[in-house]
Amino acid sequence: MHATRELGLTGMGAALSAGLVLMCGCAQQSGVDDRAVTASDFRSGLIGPPAEFDRARAGIGPEMSRLDPSLGFDTRLGERAVLDIAVVTGPPGPGNPSATVVERPVLVEEKVGEINGTPVFAGEFFDEQFAGRLRADALTKAPEVWLNDAARDIGRKLNTLVQESLLTQEGRSHLTPEQQQNLFLWLNKWEKDLQSRHMGSVQLTERALNEDGRTLAQWRDERERGALIMEAARRVYSTVQVTPTDMRRAYDKHYGRFNHGWVELRQILVRADQAEAIGRVNEQLGSGAAFADIASQELNGYRRDQGGLMDRRSYEGDFETAVLFERPALDEAVGALSPGEWAGPIGLGDTGLVVWLFCEARAHTAIPWYEAQLQIESDLLEEERRSALNRYVKKLEERASFTDLNQMGVRLLEIAQERYHTPGGE
């Protein structure tokens, strides 16, 4: 008999659902109903592996990790009592000649911990997408690189799992009976809308979702979890305010973001002790000769093959006060130039060099305060909401009960090695 325990759970993103499956014998005795037993006798709502959580979880992420920053999990293998079993098929009894021992028990699920009483199963954690990526990486990455990357990804997903679970429970706890009814009606409407895209057929809808590794029930759970998380987030967001003073302070702090530009310059470089060359440059510039033509002559010691053209230089703030060089004298000279104008000769002090600079072209973007306010307000609100939500989740974590994340992370990393990296694994 092959029996599968499948638990239906609600939630969007890394929703938890799974069970423990063992391949084992099932005996019958005389006088007992001998009808065929199938896996369907043990079903209680099939929920497939969830898809990645979408923008509903904005503001929560791996920066809240409880894991070691290095993500260097202790990879020593723990006890595996569940594997130390001999599985015998056929009717019970020591004298049964048809009984055989399965040498390698098949572990389909393993519980690695709990979050507020909800079990975390390895099979659900390593959904089709995650497992596929681990298998693919095992073919191209060195073992130590694969191990480090897997530890990092497991740590991030674990933290997101905890955060989403806590926010989902918090969102549900604050729903009024009327809101609960509305959520139920919305879920039904979303499901009907989805089915209508597939000729109203549940079977066709299921088939389309299965192509993405999901079921209709799991798709519905994603929508429910997303709505509950947003309900919890909405309560937090309603406490966040941004004042005009905050916006003005942000504009001044990030002035260069709203006022910036670039400039293209040409340069003629001559040694200070070459009086004749300096005189020739001044004479030609005074007569109106093109700067690029002069910069292409033998007397120029800087990129004469390019007419002395320098790399484009970007700056923040106002052009007149832009810092483009390490020497203030050069910045001061360039700040006074418009395209087509030149400055020099400028002595470079102890370098023994003299330079002339020509402004080939420049562009500047300036967004005044009154035009930048809406963007600044939006950015500040997003930043403050993210911070407020992080603080809120930390408080929920302090009150919550869940297995130590490092402990779960170590075991999940061991399972990942066994199933997706070790030769002969699943």
pLDDT of 29 strictly over 80:
no
Give the pLDDT score at 17: 28
123 CB-near residues (< 8 Å, 6+ apart): 18, 108, 109, 110
More confident residue, 37 or 337: 337
pLDDT score of 31: 35
- Percent above pLDDT 90 for the chain: 31
Is the pLDDT confidence value at 202 over 50? yes
Confidence band of 423 (pLDDT split at 50, 70, 90): low
CB–CB of 174/230 below 8 Å?
no
- The full 3-state SS of the chain, as one line of letters, equals CCCCCCCCCCCCCCCCCCCCCCCCCCCCCCCCCCCCCCHHHHCCCCCCCCCCCCHHHCCCCHHHCCCCCCCCCCCCCCCCHHHCCCEECCCCCCCCCCCCEECCCCCCCCEEEEECCEEEEHHHHCCHHHHHHHHHHHHHCCHHHHHHHHHHHHHHHHHHHHHHHHHHHHHHHCCCHHHHHHHHHHHHHHHHHHHHCCCCCHHHHHHHHHCCCCCHHHHHHHHHHHHHHHHHHHHHHCCCCCCHHHHHHHHHHCHHHHEEEEEEEEEEEEECCCHHHHHHHHHHHHCCCCHHHHHCCCCCCCCHHHCCECCCEEEECCHHHCCCCCCHHHHHHHHCCCCCCEEEEEECHHHCEEEEEEEEEEEEEECCHHHHHHHHHHHHHHHHHHHHHHHHHHHHHHHCCECCHHHHHHHHHHHHHHHHHCCCCC
pLDDT at 195: 87
What percent of the chain has a predicted confidence (pLDDT) above 70? Answer: 73
Mean pLDDT check: name the lowest of 113-117, 204-208, 412-416: 113-117
What residues does CATH 3.10.50.40 cover in the chain?
251-366
Instruction: From 357, 272, 258, 370, select the one nearest 317 (Cα to Cα).
Output: 258
At residue 24, the pLDDT reads 29
> Span 195-212, mean pLDDT?
86
Please tell me the pTM assigned to this model: 0.54
Q: Select from 285, 304, 298 the least CA-distant residue to 343.
A: 285
State pLDDT tens for residues 315-345: 888 888 888 988 888 888 998 899 999 998 9
- Across the range 265-286, mean pLDDT stands at 92
- Return d(Cα 122, Cα 110) in angstroms, integer: 5
CATH number of 251-366: 3.10.50.40
